Structure 1
Amino acid sequence: MKAEIIIIGDEILYGQTVDTNSAFIAEKLGELGIEISYKTSVADDVKTIVEAIHLAQSRVNLIISTGGLGPTSDDLTLKGIAKAFKRNLIFHPEILKKIEERFKARGLEMPKINQNQALLPQGAKALENQLGSAPGILIEEDKKIFIALPGVPKEMKAMLEQEVIPLLKTKVGKTKIVHRKIRTTGIIESKLYEKIQDLLKDLKEIKVAFLPSYQGVDLRLTANLKTSSKSKDAITQLEEKIKERIGEFIYGYDEQTLEEVVGKILKENGKTLSVAESCTGGLVLAKITNISGSSEYFERGVVSYSNQAKMEILGVPKELLDKSGAVSPEVALAMAKGIRQISKTDLGLSVTGIAGPTGG
């Protein structure tokens, strides 16, 4: 099955809102073995929406749109869908009742304008929205599936997982596609490629994608063979060869985070950690404490942004700051030693650097 994602909204096109919906949808569809062939962004305009739907119908089996299902005058997706499928909009009292009950549960009176959200194209099925007022829309026609979801990410994600994915599972059956993500840090993308490029030559069964980020480079391996077991075997064989080349840079797999892996290592070795931050202003602390069970190994953290704080709290000598500067290996080491000493932990970690273009 091939899919197209249509993102509807002027705010997306003009960069006023960042589109995170398409990435989430693509990831979830990929897990089902559905190929994402296209992603389209269109304006809040009926004619444009109709054209986008018709184009998608000509090239894929599954279309999922997000955005434009609100009750206001600039929410034109419903009209666009009705026109694209040549169907009248039908009022559904049962949908209106659910919307009214949702407002009532919040202690609010439903504005009359929300009655528009009880309209559906004739023959369409409403998809339950547990978190908002706009229902989703499902239309099956000519062996193709069209699904419209709200643009609010929280609502869209819940509806995709609760309503859409179970439906699609009945359509696609068991997936043969297998994904594996190898997560690395401490090596740049070009160097990583150099180390494994010969392994990637003439690969017919597996696609390899390099996904760089500020934290490191992920390698995503994708196999789509005759059976899922054959896909897994092919992935495993390539993964073992890659590990032989770059094992020292691999910190985790799939959705494991660096802070999660570090926490696991600390737990397994019975070690404790304390942190002193400067320019990151608590970012490292937040990541560490966001992991469940971090209290078993994390003792405390300090944000010593100013030189005065570094001296008073961590005991960094003034002479060292004057000589080497706050952003230096020497001061970073003194900060780590200081936080380790005052917290009496096995390990001390520090971060210092230049914050922003002015060095503030």
Structure 2
Amino acid sequence: MNAEIMAVGTELLLGDIVNTNAQYLAKELALLGFGIYRQTTVGDNEVRLEIALKEALKEADIVITTGGLGPTPDDITKEISAKVFSQELVLHEPSYKVIETYFRNNARAMENGNQKQAMFPASAIVLDNPNGTAPGCIIVGPENKFIINLPGPPREMKPMFENKVKPFLLQFMEHTIISKTLRCIGLGEWDMATRVKDLIDSSENPTVAPYAKDGESILRITARAKTEEEARMMIAPVEEEIRRRIGEYIYGIDEDTLEDVIGRELVSHNKSIAIAESVTGGMIASRLLSFEGGMSKVLKEAFVTYSDESKMKYLGVKEETLRSFGAVSEETAKEMAQGLHEATGSEVCLVTTGIAGPTGGSEEKPVGLVYIGIYLDGSVHVWKRYFTGGRERIRIRTTIAALDYLRRLMNGIEVIE
């Protein structure tokens, strides 16, 4: 079967918002075995959207739209999709009740259009949206054609596709396709791809594909088989070979994040952690706090010790150390980690100090110089790193490196700088 991806929204057409939805859907549909011959972006215009949908349905069996499901007059995707299939919209009571409950303290919102989000063609399969107010739908048309309307925000669209649309699409497949994602830190995409090049180049089933995202590298193993069990059995030896080559860089699988992996390790061993950040300014604490599996049980305290005075006041860094070696130094990072342990009693202490720029660097200590310190099991470890890029990139890369060093240290894996 063929599919077309259609993004709806003038803000996308004019480039005000980057269309990450199309990239995500294209990859997912390809993995499911759908042919994708075209992606389209259409503004919030009824005539143009109707023409675009009719043109798409000439070649595609399924058109997946994103955006235009909101409560305002220019949110027209569902209405025009129904029109293309000559279907009238009717009130979907379950959706209306959910929306009504959501806006129970805001009657004006319901009066001003939110109720239209509960209107669907009678033939539609309604897709509930626990992450927002706009349900999606699958509209069944003549000649086994479908239009699937999904919300625009990625945090709503992705789980709706994964949990609702993908199971629907699987019925059109003769085979089951299963993927497993291996997530790597500390290994660039090119370096990672070089080490498993023969596996990537192989066109056999299963396939291996590399990706780069947010400071990490990803390998996705995909197998096609008659059953899920058979597909997973095909993936297993390929995964084993990849782990043999780059296992120390693999921190997690599928939807794992670094903070998930570290959080689970801390909670399972009941180890408390404290954080003191200078150059990263709270980024590390923010990421760890996104772990939902019990971070409140193990995170004792987090400081942003940006000034020399705060390093001395809260962490016990000696004035002489700061005067002799500077705030960005191995000596200061070591005293920060040791002092954080003494101040909080935490079993794990993570600290950062560095120069993010754009000013403040020198020939001896250039912009991008950072030190990462960790107190663990009675010892203090300090690493010196140089990161390139702008201020935000340096801070993000420091955060990722610090979390990876902590992961490695807690698991007895050598830290590779």
Interval containing the TM-score (normalised by the shorter chain): 0.7 to 0.9
In 1, are the aligned partners of 2:126 and 2:135 still within 8 Å (CA)?
Answer: no
Aligned position for 2:294: 293
Could you tell me how far 1:52 is from its partner in structure 2?
Answer: 3.2
In 1, are the aligned partners of 2:82 and 2:89 still within 8 Å (CA)?
Answer: no
Alpha-carbon distance between aligned partners in 2 of 1:279 and 1:350, rounded to the nearest angstrom: 9
Could you tell me how far 1:350 is from its partner in structure 2?
Answer: 0.8
Q: Return closer, same or farther for 1:7/1:329 CA change in 2, 3 Å cut-off.
A: farther
Aligned position for 1:102: 100
- Aligned ranges 1:133-212 → 2 under 5 Å: 136=137, 138-152=139-153, 156=157, 160=161, 164-165=165-166, 167-168=168-169, 171-172=171-172, 176-212=176-212
Could you tell me how far 1:186 is from its partner in structure 2?
Answer: 1.3
Secondary structure class of the residue paired with 1:218:
strand
In 2, are the aligned partners of 1:316 and 1:334 still within 8 Å (CA)?
Answer: yes
For structure 2, list consecutive stretches of 5 or more residues without a partner in the other structure: 361-390, 392-417
* Structure 2 letter corresponding to 1:90: E
* Structure 1 letter corresponding to 2:312: M
- Aligned ranges 1:159-308 → 2 under 5 Å: 160=161, 164-165=165-166, 167-168=168-169, 171-172=171-172, 176-291=176-291, 292-308=293-309
For structure 1, list consecutive stretches of 5 or more residues without a partner in the other structure: none
Secondary structure class of the residue paired with 2:208:
strand
In 1, are the aligned partners of 2:2 and 2:35 still within 8 Å (CA)?
Answer: yes
- Aligned ranges 1:14-163 → 2 under 5 Å: 14-19=14-19, 21-22=21-22, 33=32, 35=34, 37=36, 38-70=38-70, 72-78=72-78, 80-81=80-81, 84-85=84-85, 87=86, 90=88, 92=90, 98=96, 102=100, 105-109=104-108, 110-111=110-111, 124-125=123-124, 127=126, 132=133, 136=137, 138-152=139-153, 156=157, 160=161
Alpha-carbon distance between aligned partners in 1 of 2:74 and 2:247, rounded to the nearest angstrom: 52
Q: Return closer, same or farther for 1:172/1:200 CA change in 2, 3 Å cut-off.
A: same
Alpha-carbon distance between aligned partners in 2 of 1:98 and 1:267, rounded to the nearest angstrom: 41
Alpha-carbon distance between aligned partners in 1 of 2:234 and 2:148, rounded to the nearest angstrom: 34
Q: Deviations over 1:229-270 (max 9, x none)?
A: 332222111111111111111111111211222233334555
Alpha-carbon distance between aligned partners in 2 of 1:61 and 1:259, rounded to the nearest angstrom: 41
Could you tell me how far 1:217 is from its partner in structure 2?
Answer: 0.9
Q: Deviations over 1:170-226 (max 9, x none)?
A: x33686111111111112122222222234343411322222233421111112234
Q: Return closer, same or farther for 1:180/1:14 CA change in 2, 3 Å cut-off.
A: same
- Which range is displaced more, 198-207 or 232-241? 198-207
Alpha-carbon distance between aligned partners in 1 of 2:77 and 2:325, rounded to the nearest angstrom: 60
How big is the alpha-carbon RMSD for the aligned residues of Structure 1 and Structure 2?
A: 3.7
Q: How many residues align?
A: 355
Could you tell me how far 1:138 is from its partner in structure 2?
Answer: 1.1
Secondary structure class of the residue paired with 2:234:
helix
Alpha-carbon distance between aligned partners in 2 of 1:302 and 1:114, rounded to the nearest angstrom: 43
Secondary structure class of the residue paired with 2:349:
strand
Alpha-carbon distance between aligned partners in 2 of 1:116 and 1:265, rounded to the nearest angstrom: 46
- Provide the identity percentage: 35
Could you tell me how far 1:327 is from its partner in structure 2?
Answer: 3.0
Secondary structure class of the residue paired with 1:345:
coil
Could you tell me how far 1:147 is from its partner in structure 2?
Answer: 1.6
- Which range is displaced more, 160-169 or 145-154? 160-169
Could you tell me how far 1:116 is from its partner in structure 2?
Answer: 6.4
Alpha-carbon distance between aligned partners in 2 of 1:77 and 1:143, rounded to the nearest angstrom: 20
* Structure 2 letter corresponding to 1:139: V
Alpha-carbon distance between aligned partners in 1 of 2:254 and 2:143, rounded to the nearest angstrom: 37
Could you tell me how far 1:10 is from its partner in structure 2?
Answer: 0.9
Alpha-carbon distance between aligned partners in 1 of 2:163 and 2:247, rounded to the nearest angstrom: 38
TM-score (norm 2): 0.71
- Which range is displaced more, 240-249 or 59-68? 59-68
* Structure 2 letter corresponding to 1:314: L
TM-score (norm 1): 0.81
Alpha-carbon distance between aligned partners in 2 of 1:304 and 1:125, rounded to the nearest angstrom: 56
